Amino acid sequence: MTLDHLVIGAGPAGLQLGALLEADGRRDYLVVERADAAGSFFARYPRHRRLISINKPRTGSDDPELNLRFDWNSLLSDDPDLRFTRYTDRYFPDADVMVQYLADFAERTKVRVRYGAPVWRVSRRGDLFDVRVGDDVLTARSVVVATGVSRLHRPAIPGFELVEGYDTMPVDPDDFLDQRVLVIGKGNSGFETADALMETTTLIHLAGPDSVRLAWRTHYVGHLRAVNNNFLDTYQLKSANAVLDGTIERIERDDDGLAVTFRFARADETRVLHYDRVLACTGFAFDPGVFDESCRPALAIGGRFPAQTDEWESVDVPGLFFAGTLSQQRDFKHSTNGFVHGFRYATRALHHILERRYADEPWPSRPVAATPAAIAAAVVERVNRSSALWQQFGVLADVVAVAGDTARYHEEVPVAYHARVGLGPDGHDDDTFVVTLEYGPDHDKVDPFDIGVARIAQDQPGVAHDAAYLHPVVRHHRHGQLVATHHLAENLENRWDRPDAHVAPLEGFVAGALAGR
C-alpha cells in the first residue's frame, strides 16, 4: 500500500500533523518514531528541565482561542482536556510535564504512530518515496520530516574534542565545585547552564562571536530570555563572571588545565585563557544522514536547516516537506516557527497545503458579505482573538478574497505562499485583503523601557504606520499586486475595536479599495 503521507518523528509537530490527518479521516498516513514514546526530545532537553515556553492558566477569559496566546505548549485540538494549562500551574513548566502531555495527546487523538521504528534510509523512486523503517520499506507520496534539529551543532574549532557537550555534561552544580568554567554559546542553553552553575564555580565565562540579544527587545523568543539572564547581573556588577565577544581559535590541554586561545571582537587582541572545564552550548542542527543521493535536501543557514519553499517543501526534492522546529528556516530569528506556539499553526497550514496539492481541496473559508462594514467587522473580530496571527506575526495572514459580489474569509495562510499562488481556483482573486499582526520595521532598535522614544499615542490612527509595537496591518491586493496598506492604531490592551480609532478608519480603507474596482 502506498501511503499518502509518511511523517517522521512523533514530537509536537509530528503529533500535530497526525492529529489533523486523523481528524480529517480522508488520507492514509503513518507517523514513525524511533523512540518508544512520544516527545523523546523533551525527555532529555533542556538539560536543567525548565521550559521557557510560558504556561498561563489564569487569563481572565474563557475564550479558548484568545487563551492560546498565553499558552505556548498546547497542541491544537477540540478536546478541552488537551490543554497544557490543565497539567500544571507553573509559568515555566518542567520538561517532564511536556513528555506526559505529548503521550496523552497521542493517545486521545488516536494518531497512528509506530514507535520503536527508526528510519534508516529515505530514497525517491519517480513520484514516490521509499522509506526503510526498521525491517520494512514503506512507500509514500509525500514525506514530512518532523524530527526537529536532532544532532548537536559542533563548531570547527581545533581541540573541540576536549569540550563537554550540552548532551553529556553533568547538571549537578557540585560537579563543578571551585572550578573555572568556559561556556561556548550565548543563547538560552548557555545562559541556562551558567545560571545553574554560578553558586559552585569560581568563575564562569560565556563566549561567542555575536553580542547577546535580549528577547524583550527583539521580540524574538529564541533570543536570551529574562528567565535565564541572572548571569548578566554577575557580569555587569563585576562579580567574577564575564561575557566574551569574539572567536575561539583553538583549545589545548596544558599544565594549568585547558588553554583557550581567544580573539576578542571589541579589541585587536588575542589572549590565552585558562579553564578547568569547557562546555559547549552551541545549539542543534538538522541531520540529513538518512537521505540517499536521490532525495538529499539542500541545506541553508550554515548547513543547520533544510532549505525550504513557501510551502515548507524542500527547494530541490519535490514532495519532501518539513514541520516543527525545522520549519524555522523560513523565518529564522524573526518569528516563531522554531517553537511549539508558532509551528502548531504552521503545521495546520501545512495540512491545508497538502490537501490543496494532493487532493485539489480549496483552502477552508467561510462566506462574508462583500461590504466594507462586514469585511471590517470580520477582520476586527479576528485580530482581537486570533492566536495564530498573534504568534506568527508577519508570517501567517487571514485573507479576505472578494470576487464580484461575493467574499470569502480564509484563516492562517502563509503570507509568502498567498503572494505567490493566491487562493482562488485559477490563482489570485480580483481583490484580497491580507491581514497580519506585525511589529514596526525598526522595533528591535527601540528601547521598550525608554518612555522618551514612545512617541506613538495610543489609539491614534493618523500615526499608526509608525507604530513599533504589535498591531494589525491590512494590505489590499488586486490580482496579486499590492495596491495599498492600512495600519490599525496601537492599543495598550491589544483591543483594536474602538469605533473611532479602529473600526471607522478600516471601513473607510476597505470602501476606498472596493470603490476603485
Contact 123, 129 (CB under 8 A): yes
Residue pLDDT, tens place only, 234-262 = 888 888 899 999 999 999 999 989 999 99
Domain boundary among the residues 280, 305, 330 is at 280
Statement to judge: residues 190 and 143 lie in one domain: no
Statement to judge: residues 353 and 450 lie in one domain: no
* Per-residue confidence in pLDDT tens, the chain, 517 aa: 899 999 999 999 999 999 999 999 999 999 999 999 999 999 999 989 999 999 999 999 999 999 999 999 999 999 999 999 999 999 999 999 999 999 999 999 999 999 999 999 999 999 999 999 999 999 999 999 999 987 888 888 999 999 999 999 999 999 999 999 999 999 999 999 999 999 999 999 999 998 899 888 888 888 988 898 899 998 888 888 999 999 999 999 999 899 999 999 888 899 999 999 999 999 889 999 999 999 999 999 989 999 999 999 999 999 999 999 999 999 998 899 999 999 999 999 999 999 999 999 999 999 999 999 999 999 999 999 999 999 999 999 999 999 988 999 999 999 999 999 999 988 898 899 999 999 988 777 777 776 655 555 566 776 777 777 899 999 999 999 999 999 999 888 999 999 999 999 999 999 999 997 7
Rounded to 5 degrees, what angle do the CA atoms 263, 268, 273 make? Answer: 35
Statement to judge: residues 132 and 163 lie in one domain: no
Query: What is d(CA 225, CA 220) in angstroms, rounded to the nearest whole number?
Result: 9
Query: What is d(CA 261, CA 160) in angstroms, rounded to the nearest whole number?
Result: 12
Statement to judge: residues 423 and 507 lie in one domain: yes
Statement to judge: residues 59 and 115 lie in one domain: yes
Residues whose CB is less than 8 angstroms from the CB of residue 367 and which lie 6 or more positions away in sequence, other chains included: 406, 407, 408, 409
How far, CA to CA in Å, does 14 sit from each of 140, 208, 513?
A: 16, 33, 41
Residue pLDDT, tens place only, 91-106 = 999 999 999 999 999 9
Query: What is d(CA 117, CA 209) in angstroms, rounded to the nearest whole number?
Result: 39
Query: What is d(CA 350, CA 138) in angstroms, rounded to the nearest whole number?
Result: 22
Helix 12-24 to helix 340-359 angle (10° resolution) is 40
Statement to judge: residues 7 and 145 lie in one domain: yes
Statement to judge: residues 425 and 355 lie in one domain: no
Statement to judge: residues 394 and 488 lie in one domain: yes
Contact 324, 342 (CB under 8 A): no
Q: What's the total number of domains in the chain?
A: 3
Q: Classify residue 173 by burial, with Cβ atoms within 10 Å: 0-12, 13-18, 19+.
A: middle
- Find the domain containing 249 and state its range: 154-280
Statement to judge: residues 415 and 462 lie in one domain: yes
> Dihedrals φ, ψ of 289, to 5°?
-60, -25
Q: What residue spans of 367-503 are helical by DSSP H?
A: 372-383, 388-391, 415-421
How far, CA to CA in Å, does 139 sit from each of 24, 30, 360?
A: 21, 11, 21
Statement to judge: residues 289 and 271 lie in one domain: no
Statement to judge: residues 381 and 292 lie in one domain: no
Contact 423, 349 (CB under 8 A): no
Query: What is d(CA 279, CA 444) in angstroms, rounded to the nearest whole number?
Result: 30
404: which 3 cell numbers?
A: 464580484
Domain holding 198: CATH number? Answer: 3.50.50.60
DSSP 393: T
pTM of the predicted protein model: 0.93
Prior bond of 155 cis (ω within 30°): no
Query: What is d(CA 217, CA 337) in angstroms, rounded to the nearest whole number?
Result: 19
Q: How many CB atoms lie within 10 A of CB 106?
A: 24
Statement to judge: residues 102 and 161 lie in one domain: no
Domain boundary among the residues 313, 335, 359 is at 359
